[in-house]
């Protein structure tokens, strides 16, 4: 049986393979930052120069504080930057970082090296790939679930396990944890909009509802798409203000997104995250009506609670 001892959470994050932190001068245009987000699939950059960081800018900040009708070439990154951000250090342990992630509900942080210089990023993807590396064989057995029959949601291989068995030993994270059904993972409020909604209205909904994902439906039931801040960054803001904000959200959403049933084990979702690189899974009922959206961060928060790192 594959498992991960909680002693592995005592490892310094500097021992992991961390992505490099892009440091952008304060007078750089927001459009430059948007292109970096798009091309590098990193949702955070540092603001500063000469090795000194004065703030950070994230995709979340851009979507929540920028008017999509304005050309981002005319705006400096310093105008949207978050000053004095929470900063990690390479000697911080995974235990410390996971608790900060859970308390602050933040998916990414800048990381300073042993000399105190901002050099790296620690995010949910880093943590995700580290944790799942201990369960490669078991997750490979589960596979993905792009197409599924609602009458056969839970496959035969799970019949020998019960949810109560998934976390009997607090000293380890066992492979059975990935058999936890999605219905047991707490998630934020589901925000649905109709496919006739304009992109401007959808943008406003993301900001006002403080959500990372909008579920787009037909008549409030049939799932047709999902819209995330990354969609807005890549498909709207790269057009430099030349967007008809009255056009339907269907022109910018991710169409026909994958979904899983609430009875499905989260291991399926984990494999989807690994294979396709997205960060949200739409959870539906037997009729494929959306019930909630579960993010990587929400799975980690649940995992932290179950492992009882405290």
Asked if residue 264 is part of any domain, the answer here is: no
What mean pLDDT comes out for the span 165-180?
74
Lowest-pLDDT range of 15-19, 35-39, 168-172 = 168-172
Predicted local distance difference test score (pLDDT) of residue 156: 41
pLDDT band at residue 153 under the 50/70/90 scheme: low
Mean of per-residue pLDDT scores for the chain: 90
Distance CA 203, CA 6 (A): 41
Residue 202 lies in a domain: no
Structural domain total, the chain? 1
Which has the closest alpha carbon to 140: 301, 13, 270, 277? 270
Residue 170 pLDDT: 58
What would the mean pLDDT of 170-184 be, rounded to a whole number? 88
State the pLDDT at residue 154. 59
pLDDT at 167 > cutoff 70: no
Q: Is residue 40 part of a domain?
A: yes
Q: Would you state the pLDDT for residue 171?
A: 63
Is 234 inside a domain boundary? Answer: no
pLDDT at residue 222 in the model: 96
Domain housing 117: 3-123
- 102 confidence band (pLDDT: 50, 70, 90): confident
286 domain-assigned: no
Going by pLDDT thresholds of 50, 70 and 90, the confidence category of residue 5 is confident
pTM: 0.89
> At 99, which CATH number?
3.10.580.10
Q: What is the mean pLDDT of residues 23-52?
A: 95
Q: Is residue 60 part of a domain?
A: yes
pLDDT single digits (tens) 265-278: 999 999 999 999 99
Query: Average pLDDT, stretch 274-288?
Result: 94
Asked if residue 119 belongs to a domain, the reply is yes
Residue 142 lies in a domain: no
């Amino acid at each position: 049986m594959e498992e991960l001892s909680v002693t592995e959470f005592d490892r310094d994050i500097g021992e992991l393979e961390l992505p490099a932190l892009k440091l952008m001068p304060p007078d750089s245009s927001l459009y430059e930052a948007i292109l970096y987000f798009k091309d590098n699939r990193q949702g955070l950059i540092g603001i500063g120069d000469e090795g000194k960081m004065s703030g950070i800018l994230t995709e979340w900040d851009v979507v929540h504080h920028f008017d999509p009708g304005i050309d981002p070439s005319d705006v400096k990154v310093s105008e949207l930057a978050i000053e004095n951000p929470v900063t990690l250090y390479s000697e911080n342990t995974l235990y410390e970082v996971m608790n900060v992630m859970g308390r602050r509900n933040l998916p990414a942080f800048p990381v300073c090296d042993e000399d105190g210089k901002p050099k790296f990023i620690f995010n949910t993807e880093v943590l995700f790939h580290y944790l799942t590396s201990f369960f490669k064989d078991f997750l490979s057995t589960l596979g993905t679930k792009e197409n599924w029959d609602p009458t056969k949601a839970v496959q035969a291989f799970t019949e020998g396990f019960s949810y109560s068995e998934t976390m009997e030993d607090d000293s380890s994270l066992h492979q059975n944890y990935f058999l936890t059904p999605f219905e047991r993972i707490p998630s934020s409020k589901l925000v649905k909009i109709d496919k006739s909604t304009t992109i401007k209205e959808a943008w406003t909904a993301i900001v006002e509802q403080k959500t990372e994902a909008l579920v787009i439906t037909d008549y409030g039931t049939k799932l047709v798409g999902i819209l995330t801040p990354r969609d807005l960054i890549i498909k709207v803001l790269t057009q430099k203000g030349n967007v008809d904000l009255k056009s339907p959200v269907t022109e910018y959403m991710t169409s026909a997104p994958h979904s899983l049933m609430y009875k499905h084990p989260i291991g399926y979702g984990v494999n989807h995250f690994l294979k396709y690189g997205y960060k949200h899974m739409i959870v539906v009922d037997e009729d494929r009506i959306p019930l909630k959206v579960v993010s990587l961060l929400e799975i980690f928060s649940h995992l932290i609670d179950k492992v009882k790192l405290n």
